[in-house]
Chains A and B, each alone.
Chain A
Amino acid sequence: MGIRQRFEQQLEELRTDVLKMGSMVEQELQVAMDALEKLDTARAREVFSLDNEVNLIRFEIEEKCFGLIVTQQPAARDLRSIVTVMNMIVDLERMGDQAKGIAKVIPHMVQSPDIPRPAELSQMGIKVGRMLNQTMTAYAHDNIDLASAVARQDDEVDALYARIFGQIMAHMADAKTPDKIEATYEALRAARELERFGDLATNLAERVIYMVTGRFQEINVDRSEAAD
């Protein structure tokens, strides 16, 4: 096999690795949301071990990227795809942390069962999970239309977050003791993790657009301002 053919094969392997990492983070989110739904601490602990695997694969991929840059001196599209991967894996790793953040909330909720759990939380979880899935599909197929569509969905996530924020604030105002206020905050924290997850999915989509077109383009400039 020629050097260039081998390089192309390595670039394809890199893409497969990133897709695998994306599906690992998606699974991590699903398990976290399931644990939140059922207030299941054992299920929440599964998220921690899934997150360790995500962290490991991130470093494996990063090392491959450095190897390709050093040995192949990539340019143009090749360079963009490697730089994109290096950025995507950082965001994916952060998204894994966000899922872990949700899992961390669960023991607090189990101890204080009267903490409000707005229905919008699971809606947010479904939406940001779908955003990640679609972004990875866009990445797999160089589909910039799909990537743009993903980024636009972030407004809906922000709107859900704003609603949760309002409900929790009202609940905090009603809560009489510091303990109750603190416990109520945990539900807000889970919502905040999901909102950030959506932001990072948008970042990923922007990276995909850059990889394909070579142009930096911020798709959803108003994101995350809904409740900040």
Chain B
Amino acid sequence: MSGADPTLESLPDDPTFPPSVYERTARLLRVGVLVFFLLAFVGMIAALAQNPSETVSTLLSSTPAVGFGSFGSLWARLVVLEPTAVITLGIYVMVAVTIARVVYATVDFYRGRERLLAALSGCVVVLLIVGLFVVAPFVH
């Protein structure tokens, strides 16, 4: 009986999203998670080791936050291996992976000759970039 069980290969193919697209998207997300996890973990351990007696109240009143897109400021802090900058870099990686997967989808829709869906997906990419680099600084 178990020999007749269906597998992932039993699923019918969507010409726009064949199994290779699922594999590629899953790989992108896995790499993103791994890189983020490593950066966040290293940054967190380094921050705790640097100041083991720090209290929550001092953390809430003193931790500097970097505005999104302040790459120069982030780079300067990374050069001196500031732990919170390492964590911030990890968060940036996750944001970049998220945008990349929407870009992938736009390309896949276009290749599948689904122009309407490609255009809609392209609009999402534009909106994300506008949100990060136009709306966010405006709000700031």
Q: Are A and B interaction partners?
A: no
Q: Which of A's residues lie within 8 Å of B, judged by CB?
A: none
Q: Which of B's residues lie within 8 Å of A, judged by CB?
A: none
